[in-house]
Chains A and B, each alone.
Chain A
Amino acid sequence: MSIRLIAAAADRRLLDEQRGTRAMMWIMAIMLFLTLLAAALGLGTLGAARLLEHQLAGRLTVQIVEPVEQARVDQTSRAIAALRADPDVARVTEVDRAKLAELMRPWLGEEGSDPELPVPSMIDVDLGSGTDAAVSRVTRAVQAVAPAARIDRHETWMSPVSDFMNLVTWLAAALVLLMASATAAVVILAARAGLDTHRDTIEVLHMLGSTDVQIARLFQRRIALDTLLGGVIGAVLATGVVALVGAQIAALGSDLLSGLALTQRDWTLLALLPIGFALLAAFAARIAVLGALRRTL
């Protein structure tokens, strides 16, 4: 399929491009504005979900829940030794008593600092790979030397958040597809309306020996150009909105929301959307026009 966006002046004149109000361009501007926002949301949540998974994958907390202090200290030492012996463990850090007291302060107040209070030992562990097999192996190794140990995967705590982000990503992808379908439908309607508007000219062109493809090319070029121009307008507006929201998120200083920031690759994808839609519009116009012309002699 060939698409000449820059047509000869004579070709441009054939369909009387001054007619109509170029409503198509503004419809496409709105479509692309909404599509770009949906795509930006999808790409942002996808990035955030990946960052979250990357950060939490292989991160564990080992709790030694043993009321007898000496037994707790012994089991903690053995657990740390067992962890350090595992080649898949990248980092082992015991959380000191002061930090635990700080963490419990909202619930226990100053009572949490009482040295007599039997507080479980806690060990932060980072695994090189966060696979289920590695976690199971580490769990077995720790529980073999510290029967009182409980092992929590951070991934499990955050999985509802991660699932939500994935859901938003899929929803955004569905929206983009829906908008693309709606764009194709609008283009088909516009092409059919255009065929009606230019029926006389098309009939003359046919009688002079124009092929269907020549006629379709006039429509697809014009519609692709309208879509591209409208798309660029919509994209510029949407980019402004996305940048504004991005600045607001950055100002919040939230680790979780900072993952929503778009990467260079995301911006490139967004910039390609108007071009993609213009190609889609040209294709839809071609199909619509050829289909309609095939029913004539």
Chain B
Amino acid sequence: MANIVQFENVGLRYGTGQETLSDLSFTLSSGSFYFLTGASGAGKTSLLKLLYLAQRPSRGSIRLFGEDAVTLPRARLPGFRRRIGVVFQDFRLVPHLSAYDNIALPLRVAGVPDSDIEAPVREMLAWVGLSDRVEARPATLSGGEQQRVAIARAVIGRPEILVADEPTGNVDPDMAERLLHLFDSLNRLGTTVVVATHDFHLLGRIAGAHMMRLDKGRLLDPTGSLRFPPPQAGEEA
């Protein structure tokens, strides 16, 4: 499978402090499923920010969709970002928009006409089990419902990469499993999924998922080839 993301000796430093991420070198294969684990403060969110182009690295090289993302001109960032779906840890729903409008946002940003928006948005609402909360604003939704809206917003544009930061952090175990199943379904449709989590219970739920472990800003397995569960004999690592 082709590499959709390639990090080489990437380091990230905020201001003049210590490096938050150091010497990250790994590749993500197109259509694969990755868990990114590590203790709080290990640098998971910072790594995801580099992935969804909210940050540029302080050093090293990042190739995204076959192009150099470090020197990518600012004007080309929107085009790249539309190919990446993001589920933020704090959801970042637009507070004055309804669930429907929040989910429709990526399509509107991409210039999809209103007439072509309703059907996919309603399908997404049904997919995340919120068909009866179409007009609800984020403040009136529970944490789990907000998370599902955030996930629906992240996937409605059929992104090539889905990046999710602790997507099951605010939901009960049943809902966590359901959401993970949604990610798995999307992954089967060809989307590369990267889920940052410190919930080790989730790791065994996706067969064949890769695992990347961060500790104090460094990748414990620099090749990114760790698998969880470990690959069986004869299976490609």
Which listed residue (B53, B95, B108) contacts A10, Cβ 8 A? B108
Closest residue on chain A to residue B80 by CB atoms: A209
- Give the residues in chain B near A275, CB-CB below 8 Å: none
- B57-99: which residues lie under 8 A (CB-CB) from chain A? 74-75, 77-82, 86, 88, 92, 94-97
- Give the residues in chain A near B74, CB-CB below 8 Å: 294, 297
What are 11 residue pairs bridging A and B, where the CB atoms are less than 8 Å apart in the complex?
A13-B96, A16-B96, A205-B109, A206-B81, A207-B81, A207-B88, A208-B82, A209-B78, A297-B53, A297-B55, A297-B74
For chain B, the bracket of interface size reads 20 to 34
- Give the residues in chain B near A18, CB-CB below 8 Å: 96
B56 interfacial by beta-carbon distance below 8 Å? yes
| Cβ–Cβ contact B109 & A209, under 8 A | yes
- A263-297: which residues lie under 8 A (CB-CB) from chain B? 294, 297
A214 interfacial by beta-carbon distance below 8 Å? yes
CA of A8 to CA of B115, assembled, Å: 12
Which listed residue (B55, B79, B96, B101) contacts A209, Cβ 8 A? B79
CA of A19 to CA of B96, assembled, Å: 10
Contact pattern, A 9-31, Cβ under 8 Å of B = 1, otherwise 0 = 01101101011000000000000
B105 interfacial by beta-carbon distance below 8 Å? yes
| Cβ–Cβ contact B54 & A207, under 8 A | yes
CA of A203 to CA of B90, assembled, Å: 13
A205 to chain B, nearest CB (A): 7
Which listed residue (A8, A13, A205) contacts B114, Cβ 8 A? A8
| Cβ–Cβ contact B96 & A207, under 8 A | no
Closest residue on chain B to residue A19 by CB atoms: B96
Which listed residue (A14, A19, A209, A294) contacts B94, Cβ 8 A? A14
CA of A149 to CA of B221, assembled, Å: 112
B106 interfacial by beta-carbon distance below 8 Å? yes
Known A200-B92, A204-B105, A214-B109; 9 more pairs at CB < 8 Å: A10-B114, A11-B108, A206-B81, A207-B54, A208-B106, A208-B153, A209-B80, A211-B78, A297-B74
A201 interfacial by beta-carbon distance below 8 Å? yes
- Give the residues in chain B near A214, CB-CB below 8 Å: 109
Given known contacts A297-B74, A297-B77, is B109 in contact with A208 (CB within 8 Å)?
A: yes
Closest residue on chain B to residue A294 by CB atoms: B74
Contact pattern, B 40-58, Cβ under 8 Å of A = 1, otherwise 0 = 0000000000001111100
| Cβ–Cβ contact B101 & A10, under 8 A | yes
A77 interfacial by beta-carbon distance below 8 Å? no
- B1-37: which residues lie under 8 A (CB-CB) from chain A? none
CA of A11 to CA of B105, assembled, Å: 10
| Cβ–Cβ contact A208 & B105, under 8 A | yes
Which listed residue (A10, A19, A206, A294) contacts B104, Cβ 8 A? A10
B141 interfacial by beta-carbon distance below 8 Å? no
B189 interfacial by beta-carbon distance below 8 Å? no
CA of A294 to CA of B86, assembled, Å: 22
B139 interfacial by beta-carbon distance below 8 Å? no
CA of A11 to CA of B97, assembled, Å: 11
| Cβ–Cβ contact A297 & B56, under 8 A | yes
- B199-214: which residues lie under 8 A (CB-CB) from chain A? none
- Give the residues in chain A near B77, CB-CB below 8 Å: 297
CA of A294 to CA of B73, assembled, Å: 12
A295 to chain B, nearest CB (A): 10
Which listed residue (B78, B86, B94) contacts A201, Cβ 8 A? B94
- Give the residues in chain B near A19, CB-CB below 8 Å: 96
B199 to chain A, nearest CB (A): 24
Interface centre among A18, A206, A208 (most CB of B within 10 A): A208
A181 interfacial by beta-carbon distance below 8 Å? no
CA of A10 to CA of B77, assembled, Å: 24
- Give the residues in chain A near B108, CB-CB below 8 Å: 10-11
A55 interfacial by beta-carbon distance below 8 Å? no
CA of A204 to CA of B95, assembled, Å: 11
